[in-house]
Amino acid sequence: MQITVNGEKHKVEKCLVLSDLLTLLQLSSDQGKLAVEINGQIVPRSQHQNYLLTEQDVIEIVQAIGGG
């Protein structure tokens, strides 16, 4: 199925949960590392392991970087 992650299209297997996607992307969902929004809704860290992705999901993954 196709999903969009940070503006890029990705093809992934069906029945993928969010934590699997983060692993595929080599991202750590440890505390303070990132936040995830799917289709405009934040998915809390506690739900990453259960959140089942669906076709056409638009996913934003953010972090803290330098800024003023």
Partner 1 sequence: MNSAQDKPLVVAGKTYSSRLIIGSGKYKDFDQNLHALETSGAEMITVAIRRVNLGQHQDKPSLLDIISPAHFTILPNTAGCYSAKEAIRTCRMARELLDGHTLVKLEVLGDDKTLYPNVTETLVAAETLVREDFKVMVYTSDDPLIAMRLEEIGCVAVMPLGAPIGSGLGIRNPYNIRMILENANVPVIVDAGVGTASDASIAMELGCDGVLMNTAIAEADNPVLMASAMKKAVESGREAWLAGRMPKRLYASASSPVDGRFF
Query: Which positions touch partner 1 (CB under 8 A)?
Result: 5-8, 25-28, 31-37, 40, 42, 44-45, 60-68
In the complex, minimum distance from the CB of residue 54 to partner 1, in angstroms, rounded to a whole number: 20
Do 60 and 6 touch, CB atoms closer than 8 A?
yes
In the complex, minimum distance from the CB of residue 51 to partner 1, in angstroms, rounded to a whole number: 13
Q: What is the DSSP letter of 51?
A: -
Do 6 and 63 touch, CB atoms closer than 8 A?
no
Q: Count other C-beta atoms under 10 Å from residue 3's C-beta.
A: 19
Of 13 and 37, nearer to partner 1 (C-beta) is 37
Of 1 and 25, nearer to partner 1 (C-beta) is 25
In the complex, minimum distance from the CB of residue 62 to partner 1, in angstroms, rounded to a whole number: 5
Phi and psi at 19, nearest 5°, equal -65, -30
